[in-house]
Amino acid sequence: MTVAHGGHAPAAALLPLVAVALVLVAYLAAALREQRHGSRGWSAWRTAGFSAGAVLLMVALAPPVAAFAHEDFRGHMLQHLLLGMYAPLGLVLGAPVTLALRATSGRGGHRLGRLLNRPLVHALTHPVTALALNAGGLYLLYATPLYRATTTDPLLHELVHLHFLVSGCVFAWVVAGPDPAPRRPSVPFRLVVLGVAVAAHATLAQLLYAGLLPVAAPAEQVRGGAELMYYGGDLAEILLALALMATWRPRRVAADPARAA
C-alpha cells in the first residue's frame, strides 16, 4: 500500500513554482535597489536567507519531491519539513516586511504599518497563538481523519500545504524574525514557547512512530516519517533558537550609586 494523493495537471503543478520564483525576483530587485540607493543599505545575509528559503520552498513543491510525497509517507514528511519549518525560517530571516516598508511609497508603507497594528494581527502573531496554529495544525492533521482526506482531495491537500507554510512563517517570525512584530514578548518568553513547540513536535513524532495515530500509510513508512519529523524538526528548531539568541540584547542594569560608594 502506498500513500496516493490526488493527481495534478503538469501545468498546474508548475504554477506555485512560478509564483515563488516571481516573489524571489521581486525581493532580489528590491534588495538590490535598497543596497544601491537606500540610505541604510541592505544586508547580504538577509538576501541570502530569503533566497535560501525560496529555493527550499521551490524544492518542496518541485515534481520530484511532490511525487515522492504523493507515493510515500516519508516523502510527505520531508515535504512538510521543507514547507513548514526550513523554508519559513529562511524567508523570515530575509526580513521581507522591512524590505517592503523601505521599498514602498510613503502611503503604501503607512498602509502596511496600519495593517500590522490591527488587533487581529496582534492576536494572530502572539507566540502562543502562533504555536497553537503550528503545532495544533499538525495534531489535527495526524490525530484525526484529516490526513486520509487529503490523500483523495487535491484542493484540501493544497490547503494543508498552505497552512504549513503560513503557520510556519508566522511562528518563525514571532519567535525570531528580524521584522518588527506587534507587541513582541521578551526573548525568555519566546524561548519557553519554542521549548513547548519542541516538546509538542517530539511527542507527535513518538506517537506516529508507535503507530498510535490513524495515518493511512504502511507502518514502515509511518515510522520513517516519524523519524524525519523527530530529527529533522529538532534541527530546524535548533536553527530557530540560534536565530532568536542572535537577536537577544539583554538589558544592562545601571550600577547603584549607593553600592558603588
pLDDT at 260 over 80: no
Q: Is the dihedral of CA 176, 178, 182, 186 positive or negative?
A: positive
pLDDT at 227 over 90: yes
pLDDT at 241 over 90: yes
pLDDT at 2 over 50: no
Of 210, 218, 233, 236, which Cα lies nearest the Cα of 74? 218
pLDDT at 222 over 80: yes
Confidence band of 135 (pLDDT split at 50, 70, 90): very high
pLDDT at 61 over 90: yes
Interval 166-189 mean pLDDT: 90
Helices 154-176 and 187-209, axial angle in degrees (round to 10): 150
Confidence band of 165 (pLDDT split at 50, 70, 90): very high
Q: Report pLDDT for 13.
A: 77
Distance from C-alpha of 165 to C-alpha of 22, rounded to nearest angstrom: 17
HSE value, Cβ hemisphere, 13 Å, CA-based, for 68? 15
Output the average pLDDT for the chain. 89
Least confident of 46-50, 72-76, 181-185, 206-210: 181-185
Q: Report pLDDT for 252.
A: 56
The answer to whether 189 and 207 are in contact (CB under 8 A) is: no
Q: List the chain domain ranges.
A: 10-248
The answer to whether 244 and 175 are in contact (CB under 8 A) is: yes
pLDDT at 8 over 60: no
Helix (H) or strand (E) holding 55: helix 44-61
Confidence band of 134 (pLDDT split at 50, 70, 90): very high
